[in-house]
Structure 1
């Protein structure tokens, strides 16, 4: 069955790109127009720009930059900009980054703050993934920067052999499957996964029958500038589905992937398609055997949206997505602002950029920058002092979302657990058990949800209720009515962590 896959997203991209051709910028009031991706960046820009700037934010108040899909009206905002700022490091949905890159006027600075802030002293930390699966956690990845950050890298299924059918898909945060490859009606140009440069994503790999399969993936890069796509390499991977993988360890295939984390990847510099693994390093495609054991068997849900996988109640052998919801990311944690010192680096980038765009306002921007940096230094000291009051065994943070690694590193906390739940499905017993054991064993008095992600916190709420611990609020990617500025957000987080973790259970 062929679905209408990604058609709406492609249509939107075309509409947005067309909107970027609209002429002219506002400027009747003489202010510099600044377009930013998130409200956190908007607050930093307003503090630096003051009355000389008009800041327009694309992701709406309370929105999630990881999943927000832009509109043509958003393109119009960006097309009016004298300067534009995104966080990047794959924080924002790729369509949002492409909107900025396609619509920022020629000559206007288009700044990735997370990358630019490093030269101003920002500290970057890697993402660490470990979900403790008892089967292989398999994804797709792109290594390399490519021609631009808005380029599309396409991994197409060009050939598949085996006794059954194959589907590659993810389940988004609303329980809706997004299908990338489906062999039931043959493979064609629609059987493709598209990633941005230097990105990684988690997916479900579903096979309808046991046996030996071979899947060929071919890669190409589209720079997004109208030039022809550049063909890269291809590779054929072997899968042992419900059969002993040793039967495929022949003819040069000597490396078995049966646990841990791995990606089928393309390197933009070498054009090679290969397996990238945490434990064994890079492995050529023709040396790999991927184990899909019988303990990976799942039943197809009684939901017509999953008809492409099989009939309701039938069995499939599936390597799971593990992290629920669409989760495309890079190797570096993008949530730099949770360390106030990194926010100070953002402020310096913004000030220098505005002075470049508006030289007459340089003195104003520098004065605003210096005033705000002093305020942020005081904020950093406040957060550090508040969290230092917690006993070491109470500095365990369990949240809905992996957004607090910088806060933990900067202020002496430990990330004990996080969840990205799917509210459309019941949590698995393994998910609930693992979180329950973490809460119980660490004797934490509270877990934390983000206000803008509260609707997705079903697993964490259930665990908290079962374990009799409090549910408290912290801010990750967005503000709300109770915290309308970056300073207010960080002060709240420090106070809430101290209040909730400092109490006796």
Structure 2
């Protein structure tokens, strides 16, 4: 008597644990699901290893979030490793097809100096925007003697990565097309600087068989010189002598490569919704880095690139202090090390090595979008495994009902809060969808910047904001508690509680093991923390 054939098990890869959980809810026992990014890792900065390459190469389907949430090295690994017949589905980019909605990425710059990044606009005739890259480098056209101007990114956990260095014209960075990135800029001495930027488009020219990394040939696109006034009068810059330049001293501005126009310009944010972005000719503009930006060079060997002949490293820490940890270490650095050398700093306003487009990628925090994710997953699984399509659709129906119940819990939680108290202050700019869907207001995103030591002025500004907002709690992602000790301590000093909120990843230590757990835990945290005196997250960064 013939035996019934067992259903074949699919091999599915998802980029994040949260997406992997969604896939498991739809696939059930018909698939083995692997998350490329481990629990607790930051999806914005995770770098793939050989295991990710192997898992992707053998996958029957790959699910990503898309919208540049994932680090570009992971996106490229998937693009060049997945089989040509394997569907690679960017779930957030499928939302409009399944009734979901996307929000523009609103970057709330609370800095009182210009926030300067890099942006790339793709040629409108390109068909390979998703895989294209622009290589940008810079060299000094003019700097004060012995001085340097350096741009770098700072990861969520504080590691700097140099992008531009006036002392090294070979230093470069690759940026995806139609994306932009946040940078910190440090000048080692006051004076006038001019930097010439050059951009070249990366054209794919095959794949290296041994490592799977794409070989590219770079075609020059544009060049242009950008002027900086550091600690001096910006109108006195010799490059704009005899003119009335545009002085950029506040707001968001990007050094922008336009591939189609073959130009490098300075592009700002729209002054109103749907208004065009203002564009400035860098030859007629000056980036102002005022004297008030002078700040100590962060301690540690990873920041030695900021030292020059004007800032010798030997002088950085003339009075070594006993090791301290946690809040005491921060306070020691704040009040001690009087001989520490200084640089003029335009800060990276968003902590984390973010390269992103103009659409907020954190769409799953709107539960209606979570349903759309699930629908896109079920459709893909049904396409590659039609024999089990009815099974996937049945599980989808059940899962959508569970998401709808969690959605109702979030609405109920917010409805129970007095409208005057529906304010959120967080340490991450990823909660726009949560706020938009459920009627909350993101009243502040306070991210202690890992690249510089908090100054007394910084502490006073944050303390004042917490008092003025009159919110009972600050929301912090628990896995980042150790990296936000400053904010936790300031909140405690102002009798403002710190409460958990869950967004980018799961947190088994907090009982948050699934996407549904994220929604229900956030509902409970909002209810308990905005209505009544909440319990605080313990600060485990001190040895008290």
TM-score (normalised: structure 2)? 0.82
> Aligned-pair distance for 1:276?
0.8
Aligned length: 475
- The alignment yields a C-alpha RMSD, in angstroms, of 2.3
Moved more, 292-301 or 356-365: 292-301
The aligned residue for residue 77 of structure 2 is: 99
The aligned residue for residue 416 of structure 2 is: 389
1:169 aligns with 2:196: no
**Alpha-carbon separation, structure 2, partners of 1:95 and 1:372:** 32
Q: 1:149-195, CA deviations, whole angstroms, 9 ceiling, x for partnerless residues?
A: 243321111443222322222333333322222233xx332x11222
Q: Among residues 255, 259, 277, which one is paired with 1:264 in the alignment?
A: 255
> Aligned-pair distance for 1:368?
1.8
**Alpha-carbon separation, structure 2, partners of 1:477 and 1:62:** 9
1:497 aligns with 2:526: yes
Pair 389,223 (structure 1): closer, same or farther in 2 beyond 3 Å: farther
**Alpha-carbon separation, structure 1, partners of 2:22 and 2:154:** 34
The aligned residue for residue 44 of structure 1 is: 22
1:282 aligns with 2:279: yes
**Alpha-carbon separation, structure 2, partners of 1:334 and 1:254:** 36
**Alpha-carbon separation, structure 2, partners of 1:152 and 1:396:** 39
Contact 1:136 1:262 in 2 (8 A): yes
- SS of residue matched to 2:225: strand
Contact 1:154 1:220 in 2 (8 A): yes
Q: Among residues 176, 191, 194, which one is paired with 1:214 in the alignment?
A: 194
**Alpha-carbon separation, structure 1, partners of 2:371 and 2:107:** 28
The correspondence of residues 21-170 of structure 1 with structure 2, limited to 5 A, is 30-144=8-122, 147-163=128-144, 164-170=147-153
- SS of residue matched to 1:393: helix
- SS of residue matched to 1:368: helix
Contact 2:297 2:343 in 1 (8 A): yes
1:200 aligns with 2:183: no
Q: 1:427-454, CA deviations, whole angstroms, 9 ceiling, x for partnerless residues?
A: 3334433332232223222222112222
**Alpha-carbon separation, structure 1, partners of 2:252 and 2:449:** 21
Pair 343,290 (structure 1): closer, same or farther in 2 beyond 3 Å: same
> Aligned-pair distance for 1:243?
2.5
> Aligned-pair distance for 1:458?
1.5
**Alpha-carbon separation, structure 1, partners of 2:242 and 2:373:** 53
The aligned residue for residue 484 of structure 1 is: 513
Pair 308,448 (structure 1): closer, same or farther in 2 beyond 3 Å: same
Pair 354,478 (structure 1): closer, same or farther in 2 beyond 3 Å: same
Q: Among residues 219, 224, 230, which one is paired with 1:241 in the alignment?
A: 230
- SS of residue matched to 1:92: coil
- SS of residue matched to 2:392: helix
**Alpha-carbon separation, structure 1, partners of 2:298 and 2:24:** 49
Pair 315,473 (structure 1): closer, same or farther in 2 beyond 3 Å: closer
Pair 351,275 (structure 1): closer, same or farther in 2 beyond 3 Å: same
The aligned residue for residue 421 of structure 1 is: 448
Contact 1:62 1:452 in 2 (8 A): yes
Moved more, 215-224 or 416-425: 416-425
**Alpha-carbon separation, structure 2, partners of 1:395 and 1:117:** 27
> Aligned-pair distance for 1:492?
1.2
Contact 1:40 1:486 in 2 (8 A): yes
The aligned residue for residue 323 of structure 2 is: none
Contact 2:149 2:185 in 1 (8 A): yes
Contact 2:166 2:195 in 1 (8 A): no
Pair 425,253 (structure 1): closer, same or farther in 2 beyond 3 Å: closer
Moved more, 224-233 or 257-266: 224-233
> Aligned-pair distance for 1:196?
1.9
> Aligned-pair distance for 1:45?
0.9
**Alpha-carbon separation, structure 2, partners of 1:29 and 1:60:** 29
TM-score (normalised: structure 1)? 0.88
Contact 1:252 1:286 in 2 (8 A): no
- SS of residue matched to 1:217: strand
Moved more, 169-178 or 350-359: 169-178
Pair 501,302 (structure 1): closer, same or farther in 2 beyond 3 Å: closer
**Alpha-carbon separation, structure 2, partners of 1:224 and 1:437:** 51
**Alpha-carbon separation, structure 1, partners of 2:242 and 2:131:** 40
Q: 1:446-482, CA deviations, whole angstroms, 9 ceiling, x for partnerless residues?
A: 2221122222222321122111222221211111220
Structure 2 stretches of 5 or more lacking a match? 1-5, 207-215, 272-276, 317-339, 535-544
**Alpha-carbon separation, structure 2, partners of 1:33 and 1:200:** 34
Pair 452,271 (structure 1): closer, same or farther in 2 beyond 3 Å: farther
The aligned residue for residue 388 of structure 2 is: 361
